[in-house]
Amino acid sequence: MTEITPQDAASPLVGVLALQGGVREHVHALEAAGARTTLVRRAAELDALDGLVLPGGESTTIDKLMRLYGIAEPLRAKIAEGFPVYGSCAGMILLAERITDPALDAAGEPQQTLGGLDIVVRRNAFGRQRESFETSLPFTGLQSLPSRDPAAHTENVHAVFIRAPWVEKVGSSVQVLAQVPAGDAAAGAESGAADSVARIVAVRSGKLLATSFHPEVTGERRIHELFIQMIRGDA
């Protein structure tokens, strides 16, 4: 069912892919940031949109359902034409050109991605013991947002990680927006590597934005505002 919210008609219409995962939270965050929203389950629903959010959840399930419902191919084609998409967590995995450790289905077939974002991601990268954590991260590129605190020296974002991927490699077209610094106590880890090396957790390339973490669950609105500015061509 399509739900259009009564925002200003000039507000961009942003879809949230509603096949699996944390859909509601993105709808609320987008609306708080000034967008109109609609839930997307079918390829025909893509055409009316100004942008799309791929939520967190389980990337293997979302991948399977996107292919089953025939939405993967048309979405891939739109992304190649410059359609704005923001992916959080599983959504970041779906935008990645490559996964270091793709899950295999019962037939031994690796999970697929939409691609478009020239990054390599590692799933569940922060380890099992501390599979969820929260931390505060400096985030690049929020300077022009309406909700920005003009008195703030650094633009820190509250970031919630839930079985999150990190970005292992970025192509030359990709801008790194945030990293978990080496030695971050919250990231801690079993994944010893997180202690000794900074890990990339937010990136942008053209009209594609991806975060390993979930701004939509904390009341953090600046990432969604940034995405709306990207849609409008203001960022």
Ligand X SMILES: NC(=O)CC[C@H](N)C(=O)O
The least distance separating ligand X from the CB of residue 234, rounded to whole angstroms, comes to 28
Q: Residue 153 pairs with which residues in a beta bridge?
A: none
The least distance separating ligand X from the CB of residue 189, rounded to whole angstroms, comes to 16
**From 27-35, 40-48, 53-61, 178-186, span contacting ligand X (CB under 6 A):** 53-61
Q: Rounded to an integer, what distance in angstroms lies between the CA atom of residue 214 and that of residue 211?
A: 7
Going by their DSSP bridges, the two strands 13-17 and 51-54 should be labelled as parallel
DSSP state at residue 158: E
Return the residues of window 69-98 that contact ligand X according to CB under 6 A. 89-90, 93
The set of catalytic residues is: 89, 214, 216
**From 23-31, 50-58, 186-194, 196-204, span contacting ligand X (CB under 6 A):** 50-58
Contacting residue, 15, 57, 84, 102, with ligand X by CB under 6 A: 57
Binding site annotation covers 58?
A: yes
Contacting residue, 15, 34, 51, 56, with ligand X by CB under 6 A: 56
Binding site annotation covers 109?
A: no
Return the residues of window 6-45 that contact ligand X according to CB under 6 A. none
Return the residues of window 102-131 that contact ligand X according to CB under 6 A. 123-124
Radius of gyration of the chain (CA): 17
Binding site annotation covers 222?
A: no
Residues touching ligand X, count (CB under 6 A): 11
Return the residues of window 138-197 that contact ligand X according to CB under 6 A. 162-163
CB closer to ligand X, 90 vs 137: 90
Cα distances (Å, whole numbers) of residue 205 to 75, 79, 115, 119, 168: 17, 11, 12, 10, 16
Helices 72-80 and 59-68 sit at what angle, rounded to 10 degrees?
A: 100
Q: What angle do CA 157, 163, 168 make, to 5 degrees?
A: 75
Site membership for ligand X, residue 58 (CB under 6 A): yes
Site membership for ligand X, residue 200 (CB under 6 A): no
Q: Contact, 16 vs 39, CB < 8 A?
A: yes
Q: Contact, 137 vs 180, CB < 8 A?
A: yes
CB closer to ligand X, 20 vs 205: 20
| Backbone dihedral angles phi then psi of residue 128, each to the nearest 5 degrees | -85, -40
For the record, the structure tokens of 22 come out as: 């944390």
Contact residues: ligand X, CB under 6 A: 56-59, 89-90, 93, 123-124, 162-163
Residue numbers belonging to the annotated binding site: 57-59, 123, 162-163
